[in-house]
Structure 1
Amino acid sequence: MAPFDLPAYLDRIDLPVAPAPDLGGLAAVHRAHRLAIPFENLDIPLGRGIAIDGPSVFAKLVKRKRGGYCFEQNSLFLRALHVLGFTARPLLARVWLLATATPPLTHTLNLVTIEGREWIADAGFGGSFSPPLPLEDGAQTLAPDGTAHRLILRDERTWMLERAGDPGATDGRSAATRDWQAQYSFTLDPVEAIDLELSNHWTATRPDTRFTTLTIASRVMADGFISLFDRQLSVHRNGQNDSRLIETVADYREVLIGQFGLALADAEVEHLFHQL
């Protein structure tokens, strides 16, 4: 595998210097990554596969200034953590958003060990930003859009990350109610590269997953969250919610390129818009 180009990655996430491999450094690189690189699944409706090997992910998310979904985002984030000197490994999770039965393992996150203490750090969930959380029952954190997250130990092996807010949303809408919703569950079982490949393939190709039936983009902002589901644009900022329907290709282009910062060709934007 090609060496990881740390200066290019730091430039992509707008960090002027490499952070130290401590908790402050983890928080800094995690937040910078989430603010800089949007979550999106656009290669699926564009008819392309989702490659999660290191060079492919780096070329797409860093060099070509695209975004990606969890298997891409956390692959890049994990490689960066290793180069920065962190001890980290991937985990697999089950996403419980509106689930009516036990969901499959369609999400990945990272487990980071700092001075003997374990933390979860997720750079690839398409929802409100959750800063690093200590792997401790009852641990809580607060997102910039007001969403609270907490970690619950459900049994001897299973952890559940919960989110305060609307059960049908992944951002801070209705977060003030503190009505806790299951976001995703995970265990600390070892995860191999082939496990990630399998989960990624299932998620990106099965006809009835949200990633093969919807065109999705979202971005964490310093004071909120912006999301696009097909033509529906939603902005949650400073406790206010705004939503509108995108009607034209020109508007769609401005949103994807101007608001999400995605480097897309005109032909790609037009293809995405007309297949919605």
Structure 2
Amino acid sequence: MTTDFDLSAYLARVGLEPQTTGRPRLDQLQQAQIRTIPFENILPFLGRVPETGPADVFAKLVPGRCGGFCFELNTLFAEALTALDFSFRPVMARVRMGAERGGARTHLAFVVDLDGDEWLADTGFGGQGPALPLRLAETGEQTAGGKTYRIHKDDAEGEQVLEVRLDGDWFPLYGFDRVPVKPGDIEAATFVCALSPRQSFRNTLKAFRRTETGTVSFLDGRARWTGKGDEREEKLCSARELISFMHEDMGLAYPEENLTAAWDRLQDLHTQQAG
């Protein structure tokens, strides 16, 4: 943990008070951060590599009231876990998203040791990620945030694989092992995710936040709200509408010029794809 991490400010940002301990606390922490600090890729979409140093991440996500992608979100989460005396280790995962095996290690998550059990904790995988930590020793189904998950061992790849049930089938999200993770690994993976044309973050604008009753999300011009059995989708038609959505629905405090630049680039991409 860095000396710049202010636990009181973090807990205020995610709407928690330091009361519960143990497993309930871990559940509350992951759920609260996912609900209040959105997964989003505005900086990579604009061609910028986000800073992943703990002090920089804290400044952006807590007083700056922005979101980020996995390396930012889970760097902040790690600081909170440390401040609250959880025992954990980082793992670098290979994203599968339906494939039989993953590619490079481009996702950060954590294995938390708690009361003799290990839990997969992750605030940075966006819409398909679990809303609550999952027990690693459990090979059957686990439910979190209205979705059903399982974790199974892929002996051929030497990984444990997180899967979500979609339309009745199991969909692999990512696989991970226990190779030690160093700060340089995170820095390199951040660079690849932010700038590589093979990664979605450079050419797809996305945002996701859970709410108490559902989700709010955005993908390449379309906003979507779910909750209490209701679902609606809306195509945003101007930079002003994007700014309003990101500020009011996502709760992001990016300057208007950043969001206008993101809108302009999104329109350029749409024009290129149409041509």
> Normalising to structure 1: TM-score of the pair?
0.89
Corresponding residue for residue 222 of structure 1: 212
Alignment of 1:160-179 (within 5 A): 160-165=161-166, 177-179=167-169
Q: CA deviation at 1:138?
A: 1.5
Alpha carbons of structure 1 residues 273 and 132: separation in structure 2 relative to 1, 3 Å: same
Corresponding residue for residue 236 of structure 1: 226
Alpha carbons of structure 1 residues 18 and 190: separation in structure 2 relative to 1, 3 Å: farther
Corresponding residue for residue 18 of structure 2: 17
Q: How many residues were matched structurally?
A: 263
Contact 2:147 2:164 in 1 (8 A): yes
Contact 1:78 1:89 in 2 (8 A): no
Corresponding residue for residue 78 of structure 2: 78
Q: Which runs of 5+ in 1 are unaligned?
A: 166-176
Contact 1:10 1:16 in 2 (8 A): yes
* 1:45-84 deviation digits (Å, cap 9, x = unpaired): 3343211110010000111000011001111101110110
- Residue 135 in structure 1 maps to residue 125 in structure 2: no
Contact 1:148 1:164 in 2 (8 A): yes
* 1:141-200 deviation digits (Å, cap 9, x = unpaired): 3233x22111112228311100111xxxxxxxxxxx432111111112211111111111
1-structure distance, mates of 2:151, 2:226:
24
2-structure distance, mates of 1:178, 1:188:
30
- Residue 61 in structure 1 maps to residue 51 in structure 2: no
Contact 1:57 1:72 in 2 (8 A): yes
Alignment of 1:253-272 (within 5 A): 253-272=243-262
> Normalising to structure 2: TM-score of the pair?
0.89
Alpha carbons of structure 1 residues 247 and 98: separation in structure 2 relative to 1, 3 Å: farther
2-structure distance, mates of 1:32, 1:188:
27
Q: What is the RMSD computed on CA atoms of the aligned residues?
A: 1.8
* 1:98-133 deviation digits (Å, cap 9, x = unpaired): 447642211110110012211110011111433111
Secondary structure of 1:164's counterpart equals strand
* 1:215-261 deviation digits (Å, cap 9, x = unpaired): 11111122222221120222333344432211122211111011000
Aligned amino acid, residue 2 of structure 1? T
Aligned amino acid, residue 7 of structure 2? L
Secondary structure of 1:142's counterpart equals strand
Corresponding residue for residue 5 of structure 1: 6
2-structure distance, mates of 1:34, 1:228:
15
Corresponding residue for residue 211 of structure 1: 201
Aligned amino acid, residue 8 of structure 2? P
2-structure distance, mates of 1:152, 1:44:
32
Q: CA deviation at 1:137?
A: 4.3
